[in-house]
Homo-oligomer: A and B are copies of this chain.
């Protein structure tokens, strides 16, 4: 069943459509488009697609140093300002496509087809890109929304349970950020893997409609939209502190647990806030061991000093304070600034350590 809505942005509005068979329809409609596709998914492209740029979706290729190669390939395909680009893949492909489409001849129109649950439920709307530069993760990027987002549910069947859990973590994060009512509505559907195409559509469209509010209210990440960083500052530290041994979605789930733990230690939560954050914690923890996912089978070993160091260096902090999104009082999210200093650093390290213990992950010394 098709379901769709519109997102408004400063560069015009664009539709978000979900349903089955959208890739085949798009190819029939735009046989001349250039398809920028994740190498693992190239086999899904119909033979009719003549112009292809095939990319290994990894952090190395999501870098400013590699963008010239992509641009050259577009040039070799004869792409001009009247051409259309279609990106087929998860977040890494989306980042590369957003950036390349935005700068090629100062911007060409593009369509995004997210293929992971995480990109379907979260990143596909909002128009952001994040690009690495010589070892600095996500140091550059921009805003350049596609002209349409097409969520082809046929991709759902190919996802493993770790990818599904990661997507659900981002989805529940958005609904939690939206408020208690939206969060409880989300929980009442109790999404967990394995997930059907129809189940994915429900959770994806619920999360995206909630995210629509944030990005239309604050397109350029000045205020409200920053609350969607819930779980991300702690999560990024875990991702990069383990050399990306923990995937983004899983790291966001763990990051939300750390944020809750930090708020709990600081006595910021009322009894109501404790209750609602407990529900979120239980949901996140219950998914972590779900299915045959990699972190359940083979839990990462954590170098706590390194994770704390990565947290310390996050670009979202200020020179004199840490900035983090945490549940507050009755559980609503707040962006708080905590002065950089020994006691705050100790509490942060303690929150990380408690959560790693809680989920049964062991520690490495340096």
CB of A105 within 8 A of CB of B68, answer no
CB of A305 within 8 Å of the partner chain: no
How far is it, in angstroms, between the C-alpha of A163 and the C-alpha of B143 when the chains are bound?
36
> Is A140 part of the contact surface with B, judged by Cβ < 8 Å?
yes
A65 at the binding interface (Cβ < 8 Å): yes
Q: Quick one: given A71-B64, A71-B140, A319-B78, are A106 and B133 in contact (CB under 8 Å)?
A: no
Which parts of A313-342 form the interface with B (CB within 8 Å)?
315, 318-319
Identity of the chain B residue whose Cβ is nearest the Cβ of A130 in the assembled complex = B106
Is the Cβ of A141 less than 8 Å from the Cβ of B103? Answer: yes
Main secondary structure of the interface of A (DSSP, over half): loop
Interface code A123-145, partner B: CB below 8 Å = 1, 0 otherwise? 00000110101101001111100
When distances are taken between beta carbons in the complex, the residues of chain B under 8 Å from A103 are: 64, 131, 140-142
A104 and B139: CB pair below 8 A?
Answer: yes
Closest to A141 in B: B106
Interface size on A, residues (CB 8 A): 35
Known: A71-B133, A318-B82. Contact between A139 and B105, CB under 8 A? Answer: yes
Q: A67 CA to B65 CA in the complex, in Å?
A: 9
Give residues of chain A (34-75) contacting chain B, Cβ–Cβ below 8 Å.
64-65, 67-68, 71-72, 75
Q: How far is the CA of A104 from the CA of B129 in the complex (A)?
A: 11
A343 contacts B by Cβ under 8 Å: no
Q: Which among B104, B136, B318 is the interface contact of A75 at CB below 8 angstroms?
A: B136
- Shortest distance in angstroms between A291's beta carbon and chain B's nearest beta carbon? 35
How many copies are assembled? 2
Is A270 positioned at the interface, with any CB of B under 8 Å from its CB? Answer: no
Pairwise interchain contact A221-B140, C-beta atoms closer than 8 A: no
Docked CA distance A11–B131 (Å): 22
Question: Considering the chains assembled together, what is the distance between the CA atoms of A78 and B139 in angstroms?
Answer: 12
CA distance A221 to B107 in the complex (A): 11
Does A133 lie within 8 Å of B315, measured CB to CB?
no
Contacts of A82 in B (CB 8 A): 318
Interface: A115 (CB within 8 A): no
| A132 (CB) vs chain B CBs: closest residue | B68
A80 touches B140 (CB 8 A): no
**Nearest Cβ distance between residue A222 and chain B, in whole angstroms?**
10
Q: Max chain B CB contacts within 10 Å: which of A128, A133, A134?
A: A133
CB distance from A233 to the nearest CB of B (A): 14
Query: Binary interface profile of A, 75-92, with partner B (CB < 8 Å = 1, else 0)?
Result: 100101110000000000
* A161 within 8 Å of B (CB atoms): no
B65, A68: Cβ atoms closer than 8 Å: yes
Q: Is A111 an interface residue (CB 8 A)?
A: no
A64 interface neighbour in B68, B81, B142, B143, Cβ under 8 Å: B68
Contact residues of A between 175 and 223, Cβ < 8 Å to B: 220-221
In the bound complex, CA of A103 to CA of B102 (Å):
11
The contact of A106 among B81, B105, B107, B128, by CB within 8 Å, is B128
Q: Which residues of B contact A105 (CB under 8 A)?
A: 139-141, 315
Does A140 lie within 8 Å of B106, measured CB to CB? yes
Q: Can you pick out 15 interface pairs between chain A and chain B where the beta carbons lie within 8 Å of each other?
A: A68-B134, A71-B139, A72-B133, A72-B134, A72-B136, A75-B133, A75-B136, A102-B142, A104-B140, A105-B141, A105-B315, A106-B128, A106-B140, A107-B220, A142-B142
